[in-house]
Amino acid sequence: MIVSEINIKLTILGQWGVGKTSMVNTIVGKDFPSMYIPTIGSNIARKEYRLTNNHIRLNIWDIGGQRSFNPLNPVFFSNLDSALLLFDLNNPKESLQEIKDTYLKNLAKYSPECVIYLIGNKSDLVKPEDSEILLNNIRKYQIQGFPIVFVSAKTQDNITELFTLVVYDFLKKLEKSGNEAQFQGISKNFLTSVAKSENQLDDLIINIDEIDSNTLHNKITPKFTKKNVKFTKNEFVPLKEIKDLKKIREFDIDKNKIKENIYSAFKNNLVVISELISELKKSPINALIENIDKSLNDLSNLNKDFELKLDSILELEKSDKNN
């Protein structure tokens, strides 16, 4: 039996601090970060789902949201199958504006076929009495036509389910394209393998025009706590935007941690791209050329990303010397 590899390219976009990195860490089983560390450039994580005849790999690109030192590189918007546009339920206005002004426009231009989801993160911080204001705030932005899901990277609420939805939607699209007979029935097989039903996935999606604050609150109240969540004092200190790496010492952030993250993201990205290239061998033959092009494209993105990472390290070193 031929086992085919299905690679899905998913990008997580959103303003700095909305919880992109925390969300990726949660889905790949890493610890929830205990402090805020800005992401430099991109970091690719992989989540694997094994079915009998198919391996599904979700390649998740986590991209730094601080514009000052993470210039928005159009190449990060190309060849996407799916995109999660994250906003902060605790600070919806700014983060939704950023989605409208920047991310939606770039996606329409560079990946018009990509399936987009609008994700409100930090649902653990939404108080019942604030739900109505929150709903009105979101409605005001009129970002329509995309499924909306509320999650918490911290309590892990709806996180596994959200990624299941992304993969499920992709597989349904793949079946509809009808190019390969071997993919028929794959979306159902996938749901069975993760023990979820279509109804459970439908339940995730919030109809922002019709939902009332009570229903919303019932929806986002965790059914059970998946993790022992400790709320520290720091939790309520508002996040501050870091605009300049040279001035990083003004923030209560361990500079070495940033450097460590840059190094490990760099090494990790290289491993991912090598794996992607070696997996080309298992690509369905009619998709081979297209997949080679995509890999070359990813490789050139990572080249630019490498330069950005190197510059950032040099900048952090410089700020060491001036200290």
* Binding status of residue 126 toward ligand GDP by CB under 6 A: no
- 274's CB contacts (< 8 A; 6+ apart) are none
Residue 8's SS3 state is strand
Which one of 6, 10, 13, 18 is in contact with ligand GDP (CB under 6 A)?
Answer: 18
**Whether the Cβ atoms of residue 153 and residue 22 lie closer than 8 Å to each other:** yes
* Binding status of residue 36 toward ligand GDP by CB under 6 A: yes
Q: Is the dihedral of CA 268, 274, 277, 279 positive or negative?
A: negative
Which one of 7, 9, 17, 261 is in contact with ligand GDP (CB under 6 A)?
Answer: 17
Site for ligand GDP in 236-265 (CB under 6 A): 239
Give whichever of 4 and 121 is closer to ligand GDP, judged by the CB atom: 121
Whose tokens are 């071997």? That residue is 182
| Binding segment toward ligand GDP, per CB under 6 A, in 75-83, 122-130, 262-270, 296-304 | 122-130
* Binding status of residue 26 toward Mg ion by CB under 5 A: no
User: Per-residue DSSP letters for 67-128?
Assistant: TTTS---GGGGSS-SEEEEEEETTSHHHHHHHIIIIIHHHHHHH-TT-EEEEEEE-GGG--G
* Binding status of residue 39 toward Mg ion by CB under 5 A: yes
> Measured from the CB of residue 104, what is the shortest distance to ligand GDP in angstroms?
17
Q: How far is CA 197 from CA 63, 117, 193, in A?
A: 31, 19, 10
- The site for Mg ion, by CB under 5 A, has a size of 3
Which one of 4, 21, 155, 158 is in contact with Mg ion (CB under 5 A)?
Answer: 21
Give whichever of 52 and 232 is closer to ligand GDP, judged by the CB atom: 232
- Residues forming the site for ligand GDP (CB under 6 A): 14, 16-22, 33, 36, 39, 65, 121-122, 124-125, 152-154, 239
